[in-house]
Amino acid sequence: MKLLNKVAVITGGGRGIGKAIALEFAREGAHIIVNYKKSRDEAYKVVEEANKLGVSALAVYADVSKYKDVLNMAKTVLNKYDKVDILVNNAGVLINKKLLETSVREWTKVVNVNLNGVFYTIKVFGKIMASNGGGSIINIASVAGYIPLMNGGAYSASKAAVIMLTKQAALELASEGIRVNAICPGPIKTDMLLSEYTERELRIRERYMPLMRIGDPIDVAKLAVFLASDDSKYITGEAYGIDGGFAISTYLLLNKLLKRD
Ligand code: NAP
C-alpha cells in the first residue's frame, strides 16, 4: 500500500473526482477526511465505504471559500488525528458564461472557491503539515488553466492562478518538507461535465479526443496517489495534464474538419 497510515484531507470529497481520490487513497491505506459543503449524505457514504476498506474516515463540513470554515475544519481534524500528511484541493465550481455576461457576483464566487479556497487550505493545513515534518499538497486545477474555455472565463482565470499558486507554494514550502503539485484534468465524467453536455454531445466529444474517450474520476485518482506517495518524492511545483490528449488535439480537429482522416 502506497499511503499506509497517512492522513489525507480531500476538499469536496463527497462526489465526483474528490470522491474517487478519497476512496483510492483509502484503498492505499490512508485515513481520509472527506470535506463537503452541500453533499453531506454523499460524504457520509464515502466515510462508510472507507471504513469497509479498513481505514478510519471523517466527514467534515466547510465552505472552503470561507476562511473561518477552513479553520474550524482543521480544528475538527486535529481533534481526531494528530497530523495531516496529504491535502487535496479538489473543491471547485464552474459557471459557464461569457465574460461580458458574467456578473461581478458570479466572478467573485468562482474566484472565492477555486482560488481563495486553495490559499486558505494551504495556509491552514500547510502549517499543520510543516509541524509534522512535511507532506504533499495536490491542487486540482484544469486544462482550462492553460487553454481558455469557450465560456467560463472566471473558471479559466481561477485555474490558471491555481497553477501559479501551486508553483509559488512549492517554492516556499519545500524547506518545510512539503511538496506541492497540480493536476490539470481535461474532460472527466462528473456532474460538472455531465450537466454541460447532452449524451449525444458527449459521444461526439469522445470521437474527437485523441484517446477516444472522456476520462473517469479514477483516472485522476491514480495520478493523485502517485503525487501523494513517496513515488513522487523528487517532484514539486509541477502541473500535470491528464486529458486523453485534449491539449494536443488541434491538428486532429483540423484534419477531421477538413475530412482528411
Ligand atoms: P463536481 O462533481 O461538480 O464536484 C464539485 C465538488 O466541489 C463537490 O464535491 C462539491 O462539494 C465541492 N465544492 C464546491 N464548492 C465548494 C465549497 N465552497 N466548499 C467545499 N466544497 C465545495 O465536479 P468535479 O468534476 O468532481 O470537480 C472536482 C474538481 O476538478 C474541481 O476543482 C474542478 O474544477 C476540477 N476539474 C473537473 C473537470 C471535469 O471535467 N469534471 C475538468 C477539469 C477540472 P458539495 O457537493 O459538498 O458542495
Domain-wise residue ranges, the chain: 7-260
What is residue 240's three-state secondary structure? strand
Closest to 253 measured CA to CA, from 209, 190, 220: 209
pLDDT tens sequence across 212-221: 999 999 999 9
144, 188 contact by CB (below 8 A): no
Q: Based on the number of CB atoms within 10 Å of its own CB, is 152 exposed (0-12), middle (13-18) or buried (19 or more)?
A: buried
Hey, which of 10, 11, 15, 114 would you mutate to test ligand 1's pocket, going by the most ligand atoms within 8 Å of its Cβ? 15
- Give CA torsion, residues 189, 195, 201, 206, to 10 deg: -10
What is residue 221's three-state secondary structure? helix
- Ligand 1 centroid distance, CA of 49 (Å): 20
Rounded to whole angstroms, the Cα distance separating 173 from 93 reads 27
Q: What is the DSSP string of 126-146?
A: HHHHHHTT-EEEEEE--GGGT
pLDDT at residue 100, rounded to an integer: 97
58 lines ligand 1 (CB under 6 A): no
pLDDT at residue 192, rounded to an integer: 95
pLDDT at residue 161, rounded to an integer: 98
pLDDT at residue 250, rounded to an integer: 95
Q: Which of 36, 44, 146, 155 is catalytic?
A: 155
pLDDT at residue 154, rounded to an integer: 97
193 lines ligand 1 (CB under 6 A): yes
- Rounded to a whole number of angstroms, the CA Rg of the chain reads 18
Q: Which residues of the chain have pLDDT under 70?
A: 261
pLDDT tens sequence across 71-94: 999 999 999 999 999 999 999 999
CATH class of 7-260: alpha beta
pTM of the model: 0.98
Active site residue 81: no
Rounded to whole angstroms, the Cα distance separating 10 from 48 reads 16
pLDDT at residue 118, rounded to an integer: 99
pLDDT at residue 181, rounded to an integer: 99
